[in-house]
Chain A
Amino acid sequence: MALPALLVFAAFGILPLVGVLLLSFTSWDGIGVIHPAGLASWRAVLSDPGLPHALWVTFKIMALSWLVQTPLSILIGVFLAGHQRYREVLAVLYFIPLLLSSAAIAITYKALLDPNFGLGAGLHLSLLTQDWLGKGKLAVGVIIFVVSWQYIPFHSLIYQGAVRQIPRSMYEAAQLDGAGRVRMFFRITLPQLKYTIITSSTLMVVGSLVFFDLIFVLTEGGPGDATRVLALLMYKQGFQANLMGQASAIAVILVLVGLALALLLRRIGGRNASASQLEGA
Chain B
Amino acid sequence: MESRPLSRRTFLGLAAGATAGLALDACGSSGPTKAGSGGGGGNAATGSATYWFLTGPPGQQIRQHSVDRFNKANPSTQIKATTFQNDAYKTKIKTAIGAGQAPTIIWGWGGGGLRSYVQANQVEDLTSWFDQNKTVKDRLFPSSFGAATINGKIYAMPAETVQPIVLFYNKTLFEKVGAEPPQSWGDLMNLVPKFNAAKIAPISLGGQSRWTNMMWLEFLFDRIGGPEVFQAVFDGEKGAWSNPAAIEGLTKAQELIKANGFVKGFSSITADSNADQALLYTGKAAMMLHGTWTYGNMAEAGGDFVSGGHLGYMNFPPVEGGKGDPTDTVGNPGQYYSISSKATSEQKDIAKKFFATQVLSNDEVKEWIDNGAVPIVRGTQSQLGAAKGADFLKFVYGIASNAKVFAQSWDQALSPTAAEKLLDNIAKLFQLSITPQQFASNMNQVIGQ
Give the interface of A toward B (CB within 8 A). 29-33, 110, 113-117, 131-134, 136, 139, 219-220, 222-226, 236, 239-243
Contacts and interface: CB of A to CB of B under 8 A. Distances in A.
5 contacts: A31-B97, A131-B264, A131-B267, A134-B207, A242-B416
Contacts of B421: 241
B7 interface: no
Given A117-B275, A225-B428, A134 B117 contact: no
B265 interface: yes
A219 B424 CA distance: 13
Contacts of B417: 29, 241-243
Contact of A116 (B95, B116, B208, B275): B275
Residue of B94, B201, B267, B279 most packed against chain A (CB within 10 A): B267
Given A33-B120, A116-B275, A242 B94 contact: yes
Given A31-B94, A116-B279, A116-B284, A240 B266 contact: no
Interface of B is mostly: helix
Interface in B372-430: 415-417, 419-421, 424, 427-428
B449 to A, nearest CB: 10
Contacts of B431: 136, 222-224, 226
A239 B275 contact: no
Given A223-B427, A239-B91, A31 B267 contact: no
A132 B120 contact: no
Contacts of B307: none
Q: Which secondary structure dominates chain A's binding surface? A: loop
B163 interface: no
Interface in B74-91: 90-91
A222 B267 contact: yes
Contacts of B117: 31
Given A117-B275, A240-B416, A242-B116, A222 B263 contact: no
A30 B208 contact: no
B144 interface: no
B361 interface: no
A223 B430 CA distance: 9
B265 A116 contact: yes
B197 to A, nearest CB: 18
A110 B95 CA distance: 27
B275 A31 contact: no
A55 to B, nearest CB: 17
B119 interface: yes
B268 interface: yes
A96 to B, nearest CB: 23
A241 B417 CA distance: 4
B98 A30 contact: yes
A116 B268 CA distance: 11
A78 B116 CA distance: 57
A10 to B, nearest CB: 22
Interface residues of B, number: 37
A217 to B, nearest CB: 10
Nearest to A138: B268
Contacts of A219: 208, 268
B35 interface: no
A6 B415 CA distance: 42
A32 B267 contact: no
B278 interface: yes
B268 A132 contact: yes
Interface in B267-304: 267-269, 275, 278-279, 284
B428 A224 contact: yes
Contact of B427 (A31, A115, A222, A239): A222
B424 to A, nearest CB: 7
A120 to B, nearest CB: 10
B103 to A, nearest CB: 15
A80 B97 CA distance: 51
Contacts of B264: 115-116, 131, 134
Contacts of A134: 207, 264-268
- Which of A113, A114, A219, A223: most chain B Cβ within 10 A? A223
Contacts of B419: 241
Given A30-B95, A222-B427, A223-B427, A115 B265 contact: yes
A263 B386 CA distance: 73
B173 to A, nearest CB: 15
A240 B279 CA distance: 28
A220 B208 contact: yes
A139 B208 CA distance: 13
A114 B275 contact: yes
A241 B113 CA distance: 11
B433 interface: yes
Given A31-B122, A32-B119, A241-B416, A222 B208 contact: yes
B420 A241 contact: yes
Contacts of A32: 116, 119-122
Given A29-B116, A31-B97, A32-B120, A240 B420 contact: yes
Given A31-B120, A32-B121, A116-B264, 18 more contacts: A31-B116, A114-B265, A114-B268, A116-B269, A133-B265, A133-B268, A134-B264, A134-B268, A139-B268, A222-B267, A222-B427, A223-B267, A224-B428, A239-B94, A239-B95, A240-B420, A242-B94, A242-B417
Contacts of B208: 133, 219-220, 222-223
A236 B98 CA distance: 16
A37 to B, nearest CB: 14
What 3 pairs between A and B have smallest CB-CB spacing?
A: A32-B120, A115-B265, A133-B268
Contacts of B416: 29, 240-242
Contacts of B120: 29, 31-33
Contact of A224 (B265, B415, B420, B433): B433
Nearest to B429: A224
Contacts of A132: 265, 268
Nearest to B204: A116
Nearest to B119: A32
A76 B43 CA distance: 52
A131 B265 CA distance: 5
Contacts of A30: 94-95, 98
A229 to B, nearest CB: 15
A121 to B, nearest CB: 9
Nearest to B276: A116
A225 B279 CA distance: 25
Contacts of A241: 416-417, 419-421
B428 A31 contact: no
A124 to B, nearest CB: 13
